[in-house]
Amino acid sequence: MPPSVFILSTPSFLPLNPRPAPFPAVPPLGVNIRRGGVGRSGSSPPRTWKCCSSPEEKSSPVQRRQKNPPRSSSSRKSEPEIDPVGFLSRFGISHRAFAQFLRDRYKALKDRRFDLYSRFIDMRDSASGYEILGMHRHRQHRVDFMEWAPGARYCSLVGDFNGWSPVENSAREGHLGHDDFGYWFIILEDKLRDGEEPEEYYFQEYNYVDKYDKGDNNINAEELLKKINDDYWEPGEVWSRKSRMEMVAKLYEQMFGPNSPQTEEELGELQDAETRYNQWREASNFGPNDHTRFEVIDKGNEFDVFSVIGDPVSTAKFKAKKPPLDYWVEMRKGRRAWLKKYIPAIPHGSKYRVYFNTPEGALERVPAWATYVQPEADGKEAYAVHWEPPPEEMHNWRYKKPKLPKSLRIYECHVGISGSELKISSFNEFTSKVLPHVKSAGYNVIQLFGVVEHKDYSSVGYKVTNFFAVSSRFGTPDDFKKLVDEAHGLGILVFLDIVHSYASADESVGLSLFDGSNDCYFQTGKRGHHKYWGTRMFKYGDVDVLHFLLSNLKWWVAEYQIDGFQFHSLPSMMYTHNGFSTFTGDMDEYCNQYVDKDALIYLTLANEMLHELYPDIITIAEDATFYPGLCEPTTQGGLGFDYWVNSSVSEMWLWLLENVPDQDWSMNKIVSVLLSNQLNRHNMLLYAENHNQSISGGRSFAEILFSKTDEHISGSDNLLFRGSALHKMIKLLTFTMSGSAYINFMGNEFGHPNRIEFPLASNKYSFALANRQWDLLMTDLHGQLFNFDKDMMRIEESHNILSSEPPNVHHISDSNMIISYKRGQLLFVFNFHPTTCYKTYTIGVEEAGEYQLILDTDEASYGGHGLLREDQYLQRTNTKRADGFRNSLEVVLPRRSAQVYKLTRILTT
């Protein structure tokens, strides 16, 4: 038997590189749009992110990522082992009800993933809704608009571009106007200018936005197609398609001759492929050792189909060919040609809203996916602004994202109150004035709150109305991009305080009753309303709501290069009582009927998505209830955050300052609060005070410390010295004793004396307390406090205190009011006593040697008395045993002061 032969070659008259298929005139609708394939059910879950360490690991999440950079999916040999209750056994937690709750939650998480992947390809697709929803320019001379409103019966766009007509630009059935999931699709056709003709070819494109004008050379499409045929295709490779059956007819004629059979009966029985192939070889005068192009010889071996014999000449020609990309580039016209030929359907800066006809009547809403919104003001109704600036006005990114630092020193700030003038400050003013200050102060992260669009300025930005828009009060989207870009240029990361725990209840500009129904984005009944704040609560179990929220997170990273998120007020979403309950730490409180399982599943999906797509992203949980597993891996039953905010330390300091006289402070209680939750120390973010202490009727620590009405001191004590000393000591102790990240609110680094009060009817809409007094830096007191804060940041940067091991607290005395501990390479000593100075105080140390004083809060340059002489800066140990150590130091401790020592020379016996 001769070997069988299979032919893999194509007819000679077909092109080797066929032209690409055209893009569809109208894209598929809604969430059914897919990249690289169609949606599938039952897909494997996405890769999860290990976001925190075991207690034995001695590094922060940031350091672990630097040591072990994330690998791509192709390099991963196996997925991490999944144990829904894994972190419980690691921490020795034995609670049957909570363990069962975690198992049930994991089952629900798998079901939720299945629901998502039944509608979307993968996690990336689930979070990319902003690519198709909202307003987008299409390459085929039009603008596409898509909106989700399942309760509406009719949808159209109204705006100044069409005279606010509810019928001119509507979702029409012929244009796939409405799908089964409630997504509406509207096409806005660009208008040809007078005397211009529409393009004949579908591939004739015009670039409206980018700086691209290479195609503006007056070469028409016919000339370019002829160039392609003449310069690229070989004779016989290009054939004219006069009819769909032309190729079939030619092939049939070639096989059976000009008088070929016309019916199956005339055709008779066809010979097998091998016989016909041999006949064709004989007719073609091939030699016995000659092989046709891409011929396979079947020798009876397995996988012979892969043993392809190639024609060297044909192969060389094929490899030498290059696609005619230059010609296709010529075919694409630039912006100048576009402006000459077309008038945009909706010009840049146009005002618009979306119009719905609902069972409850006609409604006009600001689109949910709008990226620039002017909220209601001065009696004018809110509207969206179409933001599509020309190239010369667009922001071009200049700097790359900075690398993750070893530790996070976060500067929390609000753009609107960042200026010294009595007004709302702008993004540009913040960029030019505040960012250089943050850099000089030694912080490596800014965390912005109040950036996302909100109607009520007095809400501090937490009652969000438009989740994809930056607040128009501060500037344009490109202004905010410039802010982020300049921060990156200074080596500063940019975090966003994101509010997904609730939303504004406003109907005219927000999402409430968006399509006329009460259950579009939010829960129905009592669960849809926050019990105390008057806000709306999201329906976290709905696939389309998850699509909205996940896409919102990805939008801020993709569009504005945001480096991390702090998830605001998690108790509001995690519990049906919105966190307004007494928590004793009993595990039953975290798995009872008041826990919202859907909200926990959303947080898990959000962390998985962010860390999967952006491995260097940072997520922070703001939760005062200490929910178990906040920073544990999602594969081990955790929620997947990188850090969690410990607010108990700040509350302790506030209570002490307002209620306890200085001489009654307990050093043991202070240390016990600072060292609580040490199992999660590597993921703990601490602060002495943030904006919560000075807002909504509160006062900043500086206002309390420098106030004469609330002082717990004797009349002979100096008020400014006491306030300055305690301000420095509280910050230094909080900063260095515990936690792996630190946060400071704007102005507190120099002891800003005033609280924050946004313009309200109660204060006659005054801006007197809605600003920061930067001129205080020029005064002695506040300038000295700032000098200390800068040096504190400098020491951390050079000695990596926050990323060091937990402190070894070896000396606590309530009677003497002394605290001493060692962390990393440094020794810290605090004397909180309001009246007693210790000329020789014994502190035990492990290493014998010379200890250099590198920071003293009592220095004159920091506003202290400067009692230490220069010859006392270097201390040598003695052999007197103290605090369980064989060596000790005899140090001078002025009252209300703290000192930091570094071992500079080790003595050997």
Q: Which residues have a catalytic role annotated?
A: 622
Give the start-end residues of each E strand in 771-848.
808-813, 818-823, 826-831, 838-845
**Tokens of residue 454, six digits:** 């909100």
Q: Residue 892 and residue 694: Cα distance in Å, rounded?
A: 36
**In degrees rounded to 5, what are phi and psi of residue 224?**
-65, -40
| 579/507 Cα distance (integer angstroms) | 25
The H or E element spanning position 648 is helix 648-659
3-state SS assignment for residue 558: helix
Any residues with CB less than 8 A from the CB of 886 and at least 6 apart, and which?
846, 848, 879
Cα gap 521→905, rounded to integer Å: 64
The burial of 477, by beta-carbon neighbours within 10 Å (0-12 exposed, 13-18 middle, 19 or more buried), is given as buried
What lies within 8 Å, CB to CB, of 70 at 6+ separation is: 615
Token pair, residue 844, equals 């035990």
How many angstroms separate the CA atoms of 611 and 553, rounded?
11
Which one, of 111, 141, 101, 95, lies nearest residue 42 by Cα? 111
What are the structure tokens assigned to 195, written together?
A: 């005397």
497, 448 in Cβ contact below 8 A? yes
Report the candidate in 191, 187, 192 with the shortest Cα–Cα distance to residue 176.
187
Strand residues in 556-634 grouped as ranges (E) = 564-567, 618-622
Q: Which residues are CB-neighbours of 373 under 8 A, at least 6 positions away? A: 366, 382, 383, 384, 385, 453, 465, 466, 469, 472, 509
Q: What is the CB neighbour count within 10 angstroms for residue 544?
A: 19
The count of other CB atoms within 10 Å of the CB of residue 133 is 25
Helix (H) or strand (E) holding 488: helix 477-489
- Partners of 49 in the β-ladder: none
- Tokens describing residue 56: 């034995």
Residue with tokens 């600072």: 674
Residue 87 burial (C-beta neighbours within 10 Å; 0-12, 13-18, 19+): buried
Q: Which residues contact 87 (CB under 8 A, 6 or more apart)?
A: 93, 628, 629, 632, 633, 636, 637, 638
Q: Which amino acid is at 162?
A: N
The answer to whether the beta carbons of residues 792 and 737 sit under 8 Å apart is no
Interatomic CA distance for residues 122 and 126, integer angstroms: 6
AA letter at 505: A
CA dist 843 → 27, 178, 790 (Å):
74, 76, 27
Task: Name the DSSP letter for residue 200.
Answer: S
The rounded distance, in Å, linking the Cα atoms of 824 and 817 is 23
Classify strands 445-448 and 373-374 as parallel, antiparallel or unpaired: unpaired
- Determine contact, residues 97/587, Cβ cutoff 8 Å: yes
What are the counts of helices (DSSP H) followed by strands (DSSP E) for the chain?
Answer: 22, 32
What is d(CA 156, CA 134) in angstroms, rounded to the nearest whole number?
13
What is the SS3 assignment for 323? coil
